[in-house]
Amino acid sequence: MSKKSRERVLKQAQASFHYETPNPESVLKEKLPKKQFKMNQMDAYLYDKIFETEPIGFFRDAWLRFRANRASLIALIIISLVVVLAIIGPMIRPYTFRTQHTEFGVLPPRIQGLEKLGICDGTLVYNLQKSELEDYGDSVVKILDEYIWVYRGREIEMVTVKINMYIRRGAQDHYFWFGTDNIGRDMFVRVWRGARISLLIGLVSVIINCFIGVVYGSISGYYGGKVDMIMQRITDTLGAIPFLVISILFIMVLGAGIQSFILVLILVNWIPMSRMIRAQFYRYKDYEYVMASRIMGAKDRKLIFRHILPNAIGPIITQATLAIPGAIFAESFLSYLGLGIQAPEPSIGVLLAEGQKVLTSSPHLTLFPAMIVSILMLAFNIFGNGLRDAFDPRLRGTEQ
Amino acid sequence: MAITLFIIVSICFFLIRLIPGAVAGEGALPEIRIALEKRYHLDQPLWNQYLIFLKNFFSFEFGESISLYARTPVFDVIRTKIPLTLQLNIYALLLTLPLGMSFGVIAGLKKNSLTDHIISLMVIFFISVPSFVFASLLQYIFAFKLGFFPFLLNLKPGWSLDKFSSMILPILALSFGGIATITRYLRSELFEALNSEYMLLSKAKGLTQVQSTVRHAIRNSFIPLCNVVVPMFTNLLGGSLVVENIFGIPGMGSLIAQSLGASDYYLTIATLFFYSIIGLTSILLIDLSYGLIDPRIRMGGGKVRE
């Protein structure tokens, strides 16, 4: 209810204390004279008309409402962009995720075009002794500051200089867009390959979770009664085990790898999914249309998959979308604890954990994976919220 | 709860037996291996091992740390680590609760205003950005670039200003996620409460907007909050895992990470056991607190009994 209509109702309610209701019998007595009666549609032929408006399906309707929400539309575009980059990103550079250039370790980012603007131009700022400056030769781009440092009574002439690391290391021909790590692997390729693996883990685990959740939740919700009670006790007991405990234990045994990550995420996340689907089944199974179908002889399987599940598809998609950032977060979290994927293969969490160790000396190693995981999670959360609003049956048809 | 705990312990036992060379290393000398096997009852049948394991676990004898703190009982190691973690988490919670509540109430009362939009934007930002990214960012900007706070936690015993200022960053990193969660939850609850029938009734009875909001809407919207706050405490313990690693805090979280790195299985499992107990206790607390706080559930419970 809007604020205005609420105030109106309130005023009516307050006014009704003083309002005198007319005697109902007096209203009935005021009859119209017969002459004034006139049939309205005497001459018209009345028959059912075909709808002139276009029918709108469930998904089309949701899409129309989703499109109206700017923020989630932008989030969708960002997600698609990240996915596309995660697929083609590693291919557009001449390096692979395991090509090592040991002589070019820990180079800062350098990007064609942007380097002329002074951003990502492969330079670092150093504090050096003035006498050392000659060693650096061409690579000195600019002297920012000169000062005197008193060290054990001696005065040392110091300079703050901007040094082009690419010239210093003899890597003028190379453009490492996101810089390199300590053994000279291109971070751009590694970050996107990591994003690909993180996304893959998230997506696969969520899809399998959906499947398990649909089977478990629909059986539990549809049949109800004793079956439901036993199944719910099982999920309650399993659901009480903290995520951290079960994931650490399983990864300890299975060894870190994509498969064990997916398995752990399935073990943990199928429970909320099945609970949500059970709730949906509880809601729909007593509807009249289900009863009508049952009276006409539909089997349980048909009722579950043909009549109830399609109605629950909106919340399922929403929950699945919101579960993906959770899975990505869990993956990076576990990688961060040193339970990450094995060495040459990167994932966002592994990259972050590696970067954290050298945060102060080479922040670019943390910056790019952190940015991508944050953007990805932000986009998925906003996108999921938009989907929830779009699929919400209570909001259907409220906007024109 | 007891069943869940039992299941966790059993899983722990069987998983630890699945790890090859968990106790005696693969390349250990035969005499050492036999001695170790005797010490850890590995020479007995699996069923007996399981019983001994259970008996030890429920009498809080978790064995000894193997590599990290050699020959120290695991229980003692954990006991020295808990206070620091608990201290940090309680401070974080003390910061989180009032801030989250006030932001939530402000956003809920002024829904769809500019303030609400700003708060909502912050909420979705802090929920989405992972805590470790946020912690690294804080550390890099405030400790390294600006130098406002120390880089790592000051571990001097007792109290000093230095120690307090070194605790600010970890506390901030721990509490932002919680603030965002509480704000989001309270905002929607309060909005729903403001639009409910009893608000209309209370206003029709002559209460002013402020009176009815404070006495009815806000009070009612606080009830479901315990559903969020209690598990948040356990989540904080989990979240502090990463934050502790970043800021070099020798608490429970870094203990887990270290024990994993050093393959110190007894230590890991005992720590995980503690986490499970905390988690299960919090679930129990939620169930109990619901009945205490919400009169509707108390009455509902009474009806069933009749």
A226 and A136 within one domain: no
A259 and A228 within one domain: yes
Q: Is residue A35 part of a domain?
A: no
A218 and A72 within one domain: yes
CB-based contact B119:B103 (threshold 8 Å) = yes
Question: pLDDT tens digit string along B207-225?
Answer: 888 888 888 888 777 777 7
Q: Crossing angle, helix B131-138 and helix B161-194, to 10 degrees? A: 140
Predicted pLDDT at B26: 53
A259 and A391 within one domain: yes
Predicted pLDDT at B108: 83
A331 and A277 within one domain: yes
A125 and A236 within one domain: no
CB-based contact B260:A337 (threshold 8 Å) = yes
- Of B277, B284, B291, the closest CA to residue B237 belongs to B277
Q: A286: which 2 tokens?
A: 């007593």
A189 and A69 within one domain: yes
Structurally, how many domains does chain A consist of?
A: 2
A329 and A267 within one domain: yes
A385 and A240 within one domain: yes
Q: Is residue A364 part of a domain?
A: yes
Predicted pLDDT at B306: 33
A116 and A74 within one domain: no
Q: Is residue A31 part of a domain?
A: no
Read off the CATH number of the domain in which A268 is found.
Answer: 1.10.3720.10
- Of A390, A355, A376, A397, the closest CA to residue A179 belongs to A355
Q: Is residue A180 part of a domain?
A: no
DSSP per residue, A90-101: GGSSS--TT---
Question: pLDDT tens digit string along B164-187?
Answer: 777 888 888 888 888 888 888 888
* pLDDT, average across residues B249-266: 75
A152 and A192 within one domain: no
Residue B299, min C-alpha distance to chain A (Å):
23
Q: Is residue A38 part of a domain?
A: no
Q: Is residue A26 part of a domain?
A: no
Dist. CA A238–CA A221, nearest whole Å = 18
* Residue in the block written with tokens 């805090």: B249
Predicted pLDDT at A77: 92
- Percentage, residues of chain B above pLDDT 70: 73
Dist. CA B224–CA A292, nearest whole Å = 38
* Residue in the block written with tokens 């800021």: B247
Q: Is residue A370 part of a domain?
A: yes
Handedness of CA B189, B195, B198, B203 (dihedral sign): positive
Question: pLDDT tens digit string along A46-80?
Answer: 777 777 777 777 788 788 888 888 888 899 999 99
Find which of A191, A244, A247 to mutate to test the B interface (most B CBs within 10 Å of its CB).
A244
Residue A339, min C-alpha distance to chain B (Å):
8
Question: pLDDT tens digit string along A162-209?
Answer: 777 777 777 777 777 777 777 778 888 888 888 888 888 889 999 999
Please indicate if any CB of chain B lies within 8 Å of the CB of A71: no
Predicted pLDDT at A360: 74
The phi and psi torsions of B154 (rounded to 5 degrees) equal -80, 125
The pLDDT of residue A26 is above 70:
no
Enter the ipTM: 0.74
The phi and psi torsions of A313 (rounded to 5 degrees) equal -65, -35
Predicted pLDDT at A29: 56
Find which of B113, B122, B132 to mutate to test the A interface (most A CBs within 10 Å of its CB).
B132
Q: Specify the DSSP class assigned to residue A152.
A: T
Best-predicted range by mean pLDDT (A210-219, A241-250, B8-17, B148-157): A210-219
Question: pLDDT tens digit string along A298-320?
Answer: 888 888 888 888 878 888 888 88
Range of the structural domain that residue A264 is part of = 59-95+185-395
Dist. CA A73–CA A269, nearest whole Å = 27
CB-based contact A328:A376 (threshold 8 Å) = yes
Split at pLDDT 50, 70, 90, the class of B237 is low
Please indicate if any CB of chain B lies within 8 Å of the CB of A360: yes
Q: Is residue A24 part of a domain?
A: no
End-to-end CA distance of chain B: 27
A326 and A294 within one domain: yes
Predicted pLDDT at B297: 60
Split at pLDDT 50, 70, 90, the class of B36 is low
